[in-house]
Amino acid sequence: METGLALLGAGWGILLLLRAKPAGIAVLALAVSIRLELIVLLGLVFVCLLIQRKFNPIHILGYAMLGMAPFMIYDFYYYGTMIPQSMIAKPMVYAITPVISFFDILLYSLPDRLIANVPALLLLGLALLSYALTNSLIGLRQRATPSGAWILCSVFGDS
């Protein structure tokens, strides 16, 4: 539910940054406070702003703290910590070990009728493998194309 709001804030923050307004950093940091996954986007924006030298690094951090401040103050007042409640609550609800996760991915990510379709999948895999090997050999034989392009010819076919 909050993902749409967070993406709206992230888009608005990037739009403000494209217009060279430092308030975009605060809006983007506010979006990070809503969905923590956007910290990756904030980090990338931070690196891009440092490379472009549009803003002073101290100002970038200041605006980011300004954007996160309302949620940090609320979390500290209500929960007694600045760590978001979603990070604290999930490990208590989802007590999953890495071994359980591995077996769940292994068992539940495969199609239900995989075993019944083994012969058809085997034939399809052999056909695709022979197609890829044939095109690779044709590409290796015709190295007269510009450097590096023969790899694309071998993968996508030779015309």
User: Are the C-beta atoms of 29 and 15 separated by less than 8 Å?
Assistant: no
C-alpha 127/C-alpha 78 separation (Å) is: 61
Using N-to-C axis directions, what is the helix angle for 85-93 and 57-79, rounded to 10°?
60
Q: Which two tokens stand for residue 43?
A: 């980090």
Determine, yes or no, domain membership for 112.
no
- Rounded CA-CA distance 159/156 in Å is 9
pLDDT of residue 12 exceeding 90, the answer is yes
Please give the structure tokens belonging to residue 82: 């600045």
* Two tokens, residue 115: 């075993």
101 in a structural domain = no
DSSP SS3 for 100: helix
33 within some domain: yes
How many domains in the chain?
A: 2
pLDDT the model gives residue 120? 73
The parent domain of residue 25 ranges over 2-93
The candidate with the shortest Cα–Cα distance to 139, out of 126, 154, 124, 117, is 154
Under 8 Å between Cβ of 81 and 75: yes
Confidence band of 146 (pLDDT split at 50, 70, 90): low
3-state secondary structure of 3: helix
Helix (H, G, I), strand (E, B) or coil at 89: helix
- Tell me the whole-structure pTM to 2 decimals: 0.54
Could you tell me if 13 and 57 lie in one domain? Answer: yes
Residue 85 pLDDT:
65
Report the distance separating Cα 39 and Cα 44, nearest Å.
9
* Residue percentage of the chain with pLDDT more than 90: 11
What Cα–Cα distance (Å) separates residue 121 from each residue in 42, 110, 124, 126, 129?
43, 13, 5, 9, 12
61, 125: one domain: no
Residue 74 lies in a domain: yes
Q: What is the pLDDT of residues 28-82, one digit of tens each?
A: 999 988 888 888 998 898 888 888 888 888 988 898 899 888 888 888 888 787 7
Q: Are residues 16 and 86 in the same domain?
A: yes
How high is the mean pLDDT of the chain?
Answer: 78
